[in-house]
Amino acid sequence: MTALLLVHDFPPMGGGIARLHGELTRRYPRGELIVSTPQDRDAAEVDAQFNGAVDRLPVGRRTTKTLPGLLLWSRRATTLVRQHRARFVYCGNVKPAGYPARWVYERTRVPYCLFLYGADLLSEQHKYHHSAFKRRSGRAILGGAAALVAISTWTRDLALTVLGGLGLDGHGQRLRIVHLGTDPDRFRPGIDATALRERFAFPDGGGRWLLTVARLESHKGVDTVIAALPAIVARAPDVRYAVAGSGPERERLERLADRAGVADRVKFLGEVREADLPALYNVASVYVGASRRAERIGVEGFGISLVEASACGLPVVAGNSGGVPDAVRDGETGFLVPPEDSAAVSEAVCRLLGDPALARRIGAAGRDAVERHYNWDRVVRDLRAIEAELA
């Protein structure tokens, strides 16, 4: 049985959503999944690893958000379904991929499921309140889905609210939770980080590192960690903080570190290649992801970097917000703290730094949780079970 995956975000594009789609494609049985996605100038080298499973549109991501682009995508998707006799469609996001998914369903009656993350639902919810057209199209796309796959309990609860607001209360029974994961073979303890230390000029002389891997946006909570750093350094003078990622908040965060007197303790690494992430996690002693709700749609729907850190045996300190509690088991694989409370962040980090046995126990439990549950093979099994039920 062949399935079609319609996605707007796909490698070489970065981010957790694109990673999910890439890992799903990589782990699906060969010949049983076709991916339809926009063009990318760096696509050729990436697509080669997927053994012909990727069908690129002749237009880029921006065009697929326009009416001509959506019509082109919808017609191409219908052709792929008929050509490969697909019996199920995965839809990588509500919009824009939901439009061709609904188009295919109307013409072929092939059922589709929608992936729901959190920020996407908040964005759609805002649009529904300001546009009658967006409300109608959202009702058609969400209402036509055979299944709605939420990546966390929080996302599921938000989806129930959105469905209720659209008059689709009965569709809540179609909601399923599928936690995201990582690759425990790639992300693991004991990776040699010597070359990475040299490349990013990590200071000699040892010392312990806190680490955050995130796009530098306000809801990621890097500012809270910087605010907590003076109190952490007072109790653990050898500690520094590495931040991997780029984004609009970088200059503000650099100024904040300077005002807090810890600019020499904070190292902004910029974008780090995905291939280098396993080694980077192995540099750190504690992973900190103090994500919070911020602005209109700023939220962490799950937090793949949290389970990547756990896979590498790192204890985690994370903000208790959004879908993060589904990625971090409080007291077992890490500690959940109020995400805007720098004192709470400091206390949790210092507790782990001051008790190496506790840190090792928490890190080992995180690694075990990834091997048992938070891994891409389990994600694919869960999704294929939904497909088998509905197709």
For the beta carbon of residue 192, count every other beta carbon within 10 angstroms.
9
In a domain, 224, yes or no: yes
Q: What is the pLDDT of residue 205?
A: 67
Q: What is the pLDDT of residue 207?
A: 86
**Shared domain check, 84 and 53:** yes
DSSP-assigned letters across all residues of 252-283: HHHHHHHHTT-GGGEEEEE---GGGHHHHHTT
- Least trusted range by pLDDT, from 42-56, 76-90, 280-294, 310-324: 42-56
**Shared domain check, 368 and 379:** no
Backbone region of residue 324 per phi and psi (left: phi > 0; alpha: psi in -120 to 50; beta: other values): alpha
Number of residues written out for the chain: 391
pLDDT (tens digit, 9 = 90+) per residue, 7-47? 999 999 888 899 999 999 999 999 999 999 999 998 988 89
In a domain, 17, yes or no: yes
Distance CA 112, CA 184 (A): 30
**Shared domain check, 76 and 10:** yes
In a domain, 187, yes or no: no
Q: Reading across the β-sheet that carries 208-213, which strands appear in turn?
A: 266-270, 239-244, 208-213, 286-289, 316-319, 334-337
Residue type at 200 in one-letter notation? F
Q: Is the pLDDT of residue 110 over 70?
A: yes
In a domain, 103, yes or no: yes
Distance CA 87, CA 170 (A): 25
**Shared domain check, 213 and 321:** yes
- Residue 352: exposed, middle, or buried by beta-carbon count in 10 A (0-12, 13-18, 19+)? buried
In a domain, 72, yes or no: yes
In a domain, 186, yes or no: no
**Shared domain check, 202 and 119:** no
CATH number, residue 261? 3.40.50.2000
Whole-prediction pTM value? 0.92
Q: What is the pLDDT of residue 141?
A: 95
pLDDT category, 385, cuts 50, 70, 90? very high
**Shared domain check, 316 and 247:** yes
In a domain, 237, yes or no: yes
Q: Is the pLDDT of residue 311 over 80?
A: yes
In a domain, 188, yes or no: no
State what percent of residues in the chain have pLDDT above 70. Answer: 99
**Shared domain check, 230 and 89:** no
pLDDT category, 129, cuts 50, 70, 90? confident
State the total domains in the chain: 2
Instruction: Write out the residue range of the structural domain in which residue 306 sits.
Output: 194-372
Residues 6+ apart with CB under 8 A from 327: 152, 179, 180, 302, 303, 304, 306, 307, 318, 374
**Shared domain check, 267 and 204:** yes
**Shared domain check, 90 and 234:** no
The DSSP bridge partners found for residue 242 are 211, 267
**Shared domain check, 335 and 248:** yes
**Shared domain check, 386 and 356:** no
**Shared domain check, 153 and 240:** no
Structure tokens at 239: 């500690």
Comparing CA positions, the residue from 218, 216, 214 lying closest to residue 295 is 218
